[in-house]
Chain A
Amino acid sequence: MSSRERILGRVRRALADVPQDDPGYEDAVARDYLREHGSRSTEETVALLAENLADYRAVVHRCAADELASVLARLLAERKAAAVLVPPGLDEAWLAETDVARVPDRAESGAHELDRVDSVVTACAVAVAETGTIVLDGGPDQGRRRITLVPDHHICVVRVPEQVVSSVPQALERLDPGRPLTWISGPSATSDIELDRVEGVHGPRTLEVILVG
């Protein structure tokens, strides 16, 4: 007998007490928890996102669409970035005002190559106000998961208000489970040493989020 059959057999014997007419999934699970916590205007939702991102030590900027290129140029200059990683589908206009060298995200570029890059600029799939989370889904303007992981500085552009939802349930319903997802809430952090929070162990130590719109 294969282990598969053995385990499934054990499970079935273990569940002999469960009646045939045990409620199905839909009836078994109560969904009376909230779809979002509190009611907020669109502007308030965006403000909450900014607040919660900052609370988890992301650096938050807000600007209008026509200011984005200059804000990005300034942030990269402040960082003294010599090279910036760019996902293949990133809007070219975003980087129109910076002359920092672009490094394209290519499948062939190994981890060591990514490690030499200073910064990465991406868009996002959705942002969650209540938790201060941005979610990347590997879309063309976000690139492969590793490009937002290896470099030490990540700038993420969130289009407001269209990409902002209030809550985790609202975010999940917008996302495609078939794509690899990365939920990011603040920069990488650890509290493993006497529970002192230290930013940046392996992921980027600096996360900047630009809310555009």
Chain B
Amino acid sequence: MSGTFVGMPAFPKAAHEAVGNQTLRANLRHATHTIRAKRANAVAEVSDWAELREAGKRIKDHTLRHLDRYLVQLEESVTAAGGIVHWAADADEANRIVAGLVKETGESEVVKVKSMATQEIGLNEALEAEGIRAYETDLAELIVQLGKDRPSHILVPAIHRNRGEIREIFAREMSEWGRPAPEGLTDTPAELADAARLHLREKFLRAKVGVSGANFMVAETGTLVVVESEGNGRMCLTLPETLISVVGIEKIVPTWRDLEVFLQTLPRSSTAERMNPYTSTWTGTTDGDGPRTFHLVLLDNGRTDTLADEVGRQALRCIRCSACLNVCPVYERAGGHAYGSVYPGPIGAILSPQLRGTGSEIDASLPYASSLCGACYEVCPVAIDIPEVLVHLRERVVQGGPVTREGNKVVLKPAKGHGAERAAMRAARWAFSRPGALRAGQRLASRTRRLHPRTLPGPGKAWSASRDLPALPAEPFRDWWQRTNGGTGDEGTAK
């Protein structure tokens, strides 16, 4: 499958530059491998992982298949609990609503807890244009914001930066935004975190408006859930007088009880912990505790178009754990920025082209940003078949066909100048329609793995200097899965 990248536009150009950056690659490799190993342990600790994964998948699928009903129910229960619900069809509308709400309070700054949805709509920039300063308070987001950079990982947005770079950024930029970094700041993580604590605390204590996303919204009760580690989420959710949460419409679960599945699978899949340090839930407003005013902005921005695609809609099950990034050999080498979207890695490769359409060069190329190795599907806690969606989207790019754009049915023309993709597509289809051939190929690679060097000698050295040759597993995953009956020996096989 190594020919997949040949002739690919946009993504490969970006990836090419990233691969040339040695620091970036070393940081990424270290980080993804560390989380990957820890995650496997955290998952192995619970014997019913396969059942939890299946339940999560089914809860999300059921919700998506009746999303209209659950949206209306959510609106009712949030309103009954004292919240105010707004609907935003696209990014511009969501930004207008939020800017308007902030202006109503008379404030000109807001504190933010990391939120993919607000990144997706470019909220900070939109607020800036209205004279409102938005402070990111997650440590990694702060690093990204101060560094005038973009996030490169869902969970660890500054994963591409090492401690030396972070020290540099803090020392140089903190004074621009508030309390400067302490004199003689070193690059130990504890000191850097302490500098961030002091810098941000003055903002939290005076903040009147908080902006958040949410990991889950419970239709039955109107409860919102934010899962985090640092406490910046709790600060933003409880200290300000006004709280504005911008949440994608796919984040609904029907009942309170459903949280028992996701509060088990999300922490283990994302940070490899039994439980993340802090989880906050709130239902509307509570007298004397937390914000007096709560606004919920329900965001579409391409989600209903994604929902209209019967194969692609499964991407909306995503709970943003980032496990698929950490196992992806393409992400590991290319880095998150190459995906040209706030959603990097395998999930980004299927979500961004659906949310935004495949009109642009980068979006048309994203379905090719994968080797279809299947590792992303294996780790996904809600069992999104990412390879299936990738192949489906490649087909759409190459052959065109009916899609929904901004709620309207349109027929996409086959992409021009994608001869290489067409060839790649044929190769992919060939392998997928011949599982025997795929298996044989994998087995062969496994059997000869001792012969695969970590770096190449002679003229190949330069090539391998920018590529960490992965060790091949002793046994192809399919074989292992079959032999061990899903890794447990006695559990039912996961789908």
Decide if A2 is an interface residue (CB 8 Å cutoff). Answer: yes
List B contacts of A128 (CB < 8 A).
Answer: 275
Interface stretch of the complex, out of B259-267, B443-451, B453-461: B259-267
| Residue from B27, B138, B143, B205 within 8 A of A112 (CB atoms) | B205
Assembled-state Cα–Cα distance A211/B264 (Å): 24
Decide if A14 is an interface residue (CB 8 Å cutoff). Answer: yes
CB distance from A146 to the nearest CB of B (A): 5
A-B contact count (CB 8 A): 251
B230 contacts A188, CB within 8 Å? yes
A138 contacts B286, CB within 8 Å? yes
Decide if B278 is an interface residue (CB 8 Å cutoff). Answer: yes
Interface stretch of the complex, out of A64-72, A96-104, A155-163, A198-206: A198-206
Decide if A22 is an interface residue (CB 8 Å cutoff). Answer: yes
Assembled-state Cα–Cα distance A133/B277 (Å): 8
CB distance from B85 to the nearest CB of A (A): 8
Indicate the member of A11, A138, A173, A179 with the most B CB atoms within 10 Å.
A11
A178 contacts B47, CB within 8 Å? no
Interface stretch of the complex, out of A39-47, A76-84, A189-197: A189-197
Decide if B478 is an interface residue (CB 8 Å cutoff). Answer: no
B284's closest neighbor in chain A, by CB? A178
| Residue from A3, A11, A172 within 8 A of B71 (CB atoms) | A11
Indicate the member of A107, A115, A179, A202 with the most B CB atoms within 10 Å.
A202
Chain B, residues 243-284, CB within 8 Å of chain A (1/0): the string is: 000000100001111111101100000010111111111110
Instruction: From known contacts A184-B278, A188-B229, infer whether A25 and B81 are also in contact, taking CB-CB under 8 Å.
Output: no
Indicate the member of A115, A128, A192 with the most B CB atoms within 10 Å.
A192
Decide if A28 is an interface residue (CB 8 Å cutoff). Answer: yes
Instruction: From known contacts A29-B59, A190-B193, infer whether A195 and B35 are also in contact, taking CB-CB under 8 Å.
Output: yes
A195 contacts B156, CB within 8 Å? yes
List B contacts of A192 (CB < 8 A).
Answer: 138-140, 143, 156-158
Decide if A73 is an interface residue (CB 8 Å cutoff). Answer: no
Indicate the member of B65, B71, B189, B193 with the most A CB atoms within 10 Å.
B193
Decide if B304 is an interface residue (CB 8 Å cutoff). Answer: yes
A33 contacts B52, CB within 8 Å? yes
Decide if B412 is an interface residue (CB 8 Å cutoff). Answer: no
B236's closest neighbor in chain A, by CB? A202
List B contacts of A32 (CB < 8 A).
Answer: 48, 51, 55
Q: Is the interface of A mostly helix, strand, loop or mixed?
A: loop
B280 contacts A188, CB within 8 Å? no
Chain A, residues 96-136, CB within 8 Å of chain B (1/0): the string is: 00000000000100111001000000000000101111000
Assembled-state Cα–Cα distance A173/B310 (Å): 35
B278 contacts A182, CB within 8 Å? yes
List B contacts of A93 (CB < 8 A).
Answer: none
Instruction: From known contacts A173-B257, A193-B163, infer whether A30 and B235 are also in contact, taking CB-CB under 8 Å.
Output: no
CB distance from A133 to the nearest CB of B (A): 5
Decide if B190 is an interface residue (CB 8 Å cutoff). Answer: yes
Decide if B218 is an interface residue (CB 8 Å cutoff). Answer: yes
A178 contacts B283, CB within 8 Å? yes
List B contacts of A4 (CB < 8 A).
Answer: 87
Decide if B13 is an interface residue (CB 8 Å cutoff). Answer: no
CB distance from A148 to the nearest CB of B (A): 9
How many of B's residues come within 8 Å of A, CB to CB?
Answer: 98
B93 contacts A12, CB within 8 Å? no
| Residue from A17, A183, A187, A202 within 8 A of B279 (CB atoms) | A183
| Residue from B67, B163, B279 within 8 A of A182 (CB atoms) | B279
List B contacts of A186 (CB < 8 A).
Answer: 277
CB distance from B3 to the nearest CB of A (A): 34
B271 contacts A185, CB within 8 Å? no
- By size class, the interface of chain A is 35 or more
Interface stretch of the complex, out of B195-203, B340-348, B376-384, B480-488: B195-203
CB distance from A66 to the nearest CB of B (A): 32
List A contacts of B404 (CB < 8 A).
Answer: 10, 13-14
B287's closest neighbor in chain A, by CB? A107
B300 contacts A10, CB within 8 Å? yes
B201 contacts A202, CB within 8 Å? yes
B87 contacts A203, CB within 8 Å? no
Decide if A52 is an interface residue (CB 8 Å cutoff). Answer: yes
Indicate the member of A10, A31, A200 with the most B CB atoms within 10 Å.
A10
A28 contacts B290, CB within 8 Å? no
Decide if B162 is an interface residue (CB 8 Å cutoff). Answer: yes
Assembled-state Cα–Cα distance A185/B66 (Å): 34
Indicate the member of A180, A194, A198 with the most B CB atoms within 10 Å.
A194
Decide if B395 is an interface residue (CB 8 Å cutoff). Answer: no
List B contacts of A8 (CB < 8 A).
Answer: 68, 71-72
CB distance from B172 to the nearest CB of A (A): 17
B235's closest neighbor in chain A, by CB? A202
Decide if B30 is an interface residue (CB 8 Å cutoff). Answer: yes
List A contacts of B229 (CB < 8 A).
Answer: 188-191, 201
A3 contacts B230, CB within 8 Å? no
Decide if A94 is an interface residue (CB 8 Å cutoff). Answer: no
| Residue from A14, A168, A200 within 8 A of B264 (CB atoms) | A168
Instruction: From known contacts A6-B407, A194-B27, infer whether A185 and B300 are also in contact, taking CB-CB under 8 Å.
Output: no
| Residue from A7, A28, A37, A179 within 8 A of B48 (CB atoms) | A37
CB distance from A90 to the nearest CB of B (A): 16
CB distance from B121 to the nearest CB of A (A): 14
Q: Give me the interface of A with B, judged by CB distance under 8 Å.
A: 2-4, 6-15, 17-18, 22-23, 25, 28-34, 37, 52, 56, 107, 110-112, 115, 128, 130-133, 138, 144-146, 149, 168-169, 172-173, 177-196, 198, 200-204
- Identify 9 new A-B residue pairs, CB closer than 8 A, beyond the known A10-B308, A149-B231, A188-B231: A10-B407, A11-B307, A14-B313, A56-B274, A131-B275, A149-B238, A184-B277, A196-B189, A202-B197
10 example contacts (A-B, Cβ-Cβ < 8 A) are as follows: A4-B87, A10-B300, A33-B55, A56-B274, A111-B239, A172-B260, A179-B286, A181-B279, A184-B277, A188-B277
The 4 closest A-B pairs by CB, nearest first: A203-B231, A202-B231, A14-B308, A10-B304
